[in-house]
Amino acid sequence: MASTRQTWSRFMVMDITTLDDALLFVIVYSIMDPRDIKPDHPILKHIFNDAYPGAITIFTQNWDECVFKVDFSYYANPRPPCIVRLEVEDDEPTKFAMTAALQGLAATILPGLVPKVLQVGKAKNEGGRLLNFSVTEFIDEKTLDDVWYELNADGRSSLISELAEAVEKLHSVRLSDQKVQEFLGNALKDEPGLLKELSGPGTFGGTQTGVFNSGSVFMGHIIKEHTDIKQPITVNVLSEPRGIEIKSDFEDMEPVVVEESDMDRWAEEAVFCHNNLNPNQIFVRKLADGGYSIAGILDWTLAGFYPASYELSLQDSHLGLGHGNVSFYLLLKDRLKEVTPRTSSQIALLRARELIHESHERVLVSSDIVSSAVRKKFLDKLELVRDEDPYVGWRRTPGTSHDCSAAEFERLEHDFYMTLPQDWKPAWE
């Protein structure tokens, strides 16, 4: 079960003479909670044997996971730096293995653009707790968000074109492809249950959602994941046409009908999707002419095999939650909507998920959930409205050209927090 403690992203660099000295430094001088997962001696020894790291930089750390960079630069012949992810073995241990397998698969489809998975396994920490770990290549470049506002229109367009081409390559791959089944068969040989699920006919899905064997089960999952506080919708079963009608509790939102025949097509339409393309997950490399090219696509935790319109819909959901870069979003959506099939089944999925998600967001705002309240403030401030075409998603109000850098988005969050009373608690606590 995930902890309720917030994940803090911070940088903590340690110069190491001996491994024990380094670990003492971590324990004495870091501000970590004692319950935090950390790169302790048994973990590092299991992963790297006697190749002690020269320095460790912790990026993310909480009760359930720890992500850190390992540097070996003090060796005469140093091995390349790498990224290690530790995660507590929970009730769903296959999630970690599946994420690593899908990233490994992506690296074969987009060589040079996806960090290779170097090692995956399990190890016990000094407290005897079983942790999953993965070791991946480290990309020593800037994020797209770091340079986006330095770029002119041509520079931005060039990077978006590169990214769209990468997405097209991913979308050309299906779970049933022989090469995919062979790769997953090798990568998941220690997870026979998961492997059996992924090799079944009509199967699709991914790490965060789970695996589905029918479109109706997938639809049920989408509905369920948006009813954690209060169900903001009503679902009616239809006999003619066979399917469901989804009605929002908010009267200004039109009902959506999803026919059974459309849901039945989702499995055959499922393609490989990243599902979280934002400028913080994309690394870029500076070119000799002063421009940039894509150097890496990170964070495959939401990846899987879904109808392309599902990935398109997630772009809409993440804007204002995962990032606030409107110009990036608009340019990428403009390209992605052209490579997403306009079939009745894909349109139905887009419309249904929009209705469900936006109804849920309104409930979260009324329940004092800060992230959702900040998202609403962000959308209002930048005067973004929903287009009638579900493939377009959010668009600017005519006559506006607002954008929001990462620093401005953080300031928006900070300013909102400053308006809250000191004894504030969410309504659901």
Tokens found for residue 412: 């928006």
Here the contacts of 144-149 (C-beta below 8 Å, separation 24 or greater) are 144/279, 144/280, 144/282, 144/283, 144/284, 144/292, 144/294, 144/328, 145/278, 145/279, 145/280, 145/323, 145/325, 145/405, 145/406, 147/284, 147/292, 148/279, 148/325, 148/327, 148/328, 148/405, 149/403, 149/405
Would you list the DSSP string of 155-180? HHHHHHHHHHHHHHHHHT--TTSHHH
pTM, whole model, 2 decimals? 0.88
Residue-wise pLDDT tens for the chain (429 aa)?
Answer: 333 333 333 344 444 444 444 444 444 334 567 788 999 989 999 999 877 777 899 998 998 899 999 998 766 667 889 999 999 986 665 789 999 999 999 999 999 999 999 999 999 999 899 999 999 999 999 999 999 999 999 999 999 999 999 999 999 999 999 999 999 999 999 899 999 999 989 999 999 999 999 999 999 999 999 887 778 999 999 998 999 999 999 999 999 999 999 999 999 999 999 999 999 999 999 999 989 999 999 999 999 999 999 999 999 999 998 788 999 999 999 999 999 999 999 999 999 999 999 999 999 988 888 889 999 999 999 999 999 999 999 999 999 888 888 888 888 888 888 887 766 655 444
CATH architecture of 8-137: 2-Layer Sandwich (3.30)
Dihedral in degrees, nearest 10, Cα atoms 301, 359, 320, 57: -30
Q: What is the domain partition of the chain in residue ranges?
A: 8-137, 142-418
For helices 153-171 and 326-336, angle between their N-to-C axes, nearest 10 degrees: 50
d(CA 207, CA 203): 13
